[in-house]
């Protein structure tokens, strides 16, 4: 197969895929997205594509990667087009997404991204850069000593970080009397809009107090909650989808039918009419965000680490293990107790739907993919729930098993797991800790300190004791025994 998916090839595609129902030449950029990976292309870009098809032609997306050129290299020859494959046990629906107008790689040409960010037509900047890109210190503020932060403070016109690009773009818009954009965080962070605002203000204060004051007065940082399971695309996926299309798609994306986006409605410069396509625009995202982080993301991480230790390569095989299934029910029972009772959350219906989604055998979502960056994910997914439960006088036995399983899975790399099966920003520190051959208590103490888990919380030592008990069991008798010991300890 020599021909490639492109604007020119659209009319000749087989009938097996829906095509953009609009003229892309009439679409202009209104959004810059930082972190143009598979999740964005399965989620926000699809909602924007819906809006463009409905006639809102001013909201096309300029996508930018802050690290790798892979997405640009795959999609630029395709005019930004790619296939969305929605899969479940009943089959697969294909759709060509056209909302991505341009793709940039920040390290190759920082000026091009700054030009896009300062375009007066751009009203919104969205982000899916993963938790680790926010470069937070253990107290939640900016790590001002990080070498990339120091670089950006010394080289404002040639930034490397999210903070540096946003601050320089805001400064240039301010100097040119161009209205500020809205910054919409779509990462799995607690109160993600407020979190981004805090670290950006910290950065701006280090750079220029006047710029920080301008940001505080003029920029909106609405919080949001995003939800859609997006497994990694395989070569088999590429081959199958290219065969259906009749042309090569170098990087289609796989996902499930379910999607959800809850957004705080605070966009001074305007926004697409997302509501007509199911986006929930609300005054306060927090209850929805906490439910998703603690019930979906928390259980996802748990299935990943326990599943890896038990030899389960995918979520559906892990969740299909009766011991893990019972564990997840226990985890949900504990985590539900930490959610507000007056926010209209239907946690029973939510967890029932999660169980259906986890059982989707068509996705084959790999546990090693979910296992990435645990030190950055577990604080909001697991640790916060566990500390909340303990502070309320409740049990957190199931919640505490997850950090123990994460530590054990990290230790297992290079022995029972491949050496680079998954990675973590703390891998250097973890390797040093593991090399000391500490007992379970010493390991948990050192890891909690390195990761900053629960710093300053009154119940931190209680949680560490629970994690220590689990890690000791996993090391001496295996994770199956740790799961068996939890039987009968439901919240």
**CB neighbour list of residue 325: distance below 8 Å, 6 or more residues apart:** 319
Written as tens digits, the pLDDT of the chain (491 aa) is: 569 999 999 988 988 899 999 999 999 999 999 999 999 999 999 999 999 999 999 999 999 999 999 999 999 999 999 999 999 988 999 999 999 999 999 999 999 999 999 999 999 999 999 999 999 998 889 999 999 999 999 999 999 999 999 999 999 999 999 999 999 999 998 899 999 999 999 999 999 999 999 999 999 999 999 999 999 999 999 999 999 999 999 999 999 999 999 999 999 999 999 999 999 999 999 999 999 999 999 999 999 999 999 999 999 999 999 999 999 999 999 999 999 998 889 999 999 999 999 999 999 999 999 999 999 999 999 999 999 999 999 999 999 999 999 999 999 999 999 999 999 999 999 999 999 999 999 999 999 999 999 999 999 999 999 999 999 999 999 999 999 999 877 66
Angle at 292 between CA 287 and CA 294, to 5 degrees: 95
Quote the CA–CA distance of 226 and 46 in Å, as a whole number: 13
What DSSP assignment string belongs to 186-201? -SS-TTHHHHHHHHHH
Domains 10-282 and 286-485 share a fold: no
What DSSP assignment string belongs to 103-124? EEETTT-HHHHHHHHH-TT--E
The end-to-end CA distance of the chain, in Å, is 56
- For the chain, give every domain's residue range: 10-282, 286-485
Handedness of CA 16, 21, 22, 27 (dihedral sign): negative
Quote the CA–CA distance of 216 and 232 in Å, as a whole number: 38
Q: Is 10-282 CATH 3.40.50.720?
A: yes
By DSSP bridging, strand 124-127 and strand 29-34 are parallel
Q: For residue 148, which of 162, 140, 134, 160 has the smallest C-alpha distance? A: 160
Q: For residue 66, which of 124, 114, 20 has the smallest C-alpha distance? A: 114
Three-state secondary structure call for residue 10: helix
Quote the CA–CA distance of 193 and 332 in Å, as a whole number: 26
Quote the CA–CA distance of 327 and 397 in Å, as a whole number: 10
Alpha helix (H) ranges present in 44-130?
44-53, 70-75, 110-118
Find the helix or strand (DSSP H, E) in which 18 lies. strand 17-18
The pLDDT tens digits for 407-442 are 999 999 999 999 999 999 999 999 999 999 999 999
**Residues forming beta bridges with residue 86, ordered by sequence position:** 93, 255
Three-state secondary structure call for residue 224: strand
Alpha helix (H) ranges present in 267-359?
286-291, 298-310, 315-319, 322-336, 347-358
The dotted CATH code for 286-485 is 1.10.1040.10
């Amino acid at each position: 197969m020599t021909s490639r998916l492109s604007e020119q090839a659209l009319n000749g595609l087989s009938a097996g895929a829906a095509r953009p129902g609009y003229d892309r030449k009439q679409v202009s950029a209104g959004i810059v997205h930082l972190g143009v990976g598979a999740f964005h292309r399965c989620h926000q870009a699809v909602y924007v594509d819906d809006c463009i098809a409905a006639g809102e032609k001013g909201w096309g997306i300029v996508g930018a990667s802050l690290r790798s050129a892979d997405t640009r290299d795959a999609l630029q020859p395709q005019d930004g087009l790619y296939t969305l494959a929605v899969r479940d046990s009943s089959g697969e629906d294909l759709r060509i997404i056209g909302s991505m107008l341009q793709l940039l790689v920040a390290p190759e040409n920082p000026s091009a991204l700054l030009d896009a960010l300062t375009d007066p037509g751009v009203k919104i900047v969205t982000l899916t850069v993963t938790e680790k890109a926010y470069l937070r210190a253990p107290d939640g503020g900016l790590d001002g000593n990080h070498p990339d932060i120091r670089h950006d403070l010394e080289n404002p016109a040639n930034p490397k970080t999210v903070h540096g690009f946003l601050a320089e773009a805001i400064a240039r818009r301010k100097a040119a009397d161009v209205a500020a954009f809205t910054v919409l965080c779509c990462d799995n962070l607690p109160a993600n809009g407020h979190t981004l605002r805090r670290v950006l203000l910290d950065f701006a204060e280090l750079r220029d107090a006047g710029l920080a004051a301008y940001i505080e007065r003029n920029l909106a940082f609405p919080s949001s909650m995003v939800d859609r399971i997006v497994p990694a695309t395989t070569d088999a996926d590429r081959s199958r989808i290219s065969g259906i299309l009749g042309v090569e798609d170098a990087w289609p994306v796989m996902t499930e039918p379910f999607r959800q986006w809850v957004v705080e409605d605070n966009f001074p410069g305007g926004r697409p009419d997302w509501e007509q396509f199911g986006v929930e625009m609300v005054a306060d995202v927090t209850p929805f965000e906490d439910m998703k982080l603690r019930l979906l993301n928390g259980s996802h991480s748990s299935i990943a680490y326990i599943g890896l230790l038990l030899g389960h390569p995918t979520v559906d095989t892990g969740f299909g293990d009766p011991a893990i299934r019972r564990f997840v029910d226990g985890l949900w029972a504990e985590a539900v107790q930490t959610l507000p009772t007056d926010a209209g959350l239907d946690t029973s219906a939510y967890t029932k739907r999660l169980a259906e989604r986890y059982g989707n055998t068509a996705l084959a979502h790999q546990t090693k993919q979910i296992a990435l960056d645990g030190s950055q994910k577990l604080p909001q997914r697991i640790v916060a729930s566990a500390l909340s439960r303990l502070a309320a006088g409740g049990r957190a036995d199931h919640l505490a098993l997850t950090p123990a399983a994460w530590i054990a899975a990290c230790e297992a790399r290079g022995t029972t797991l491949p050496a680079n099966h998954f990675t973590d920003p703390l891998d250097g520190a973890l390797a040093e800790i593991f090399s000391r051959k500490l007992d379970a208590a010493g390991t948990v103490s050192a890891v909690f300190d390195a990761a900053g888990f629960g710093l300053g919380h009154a119940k931190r030592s209680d949680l560490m004791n629970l994690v220590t008990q689990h890690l000791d069991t996993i090391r001496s008798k295996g994770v199956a025994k740790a799961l068996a010991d939890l039987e009968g300890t439901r919240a």
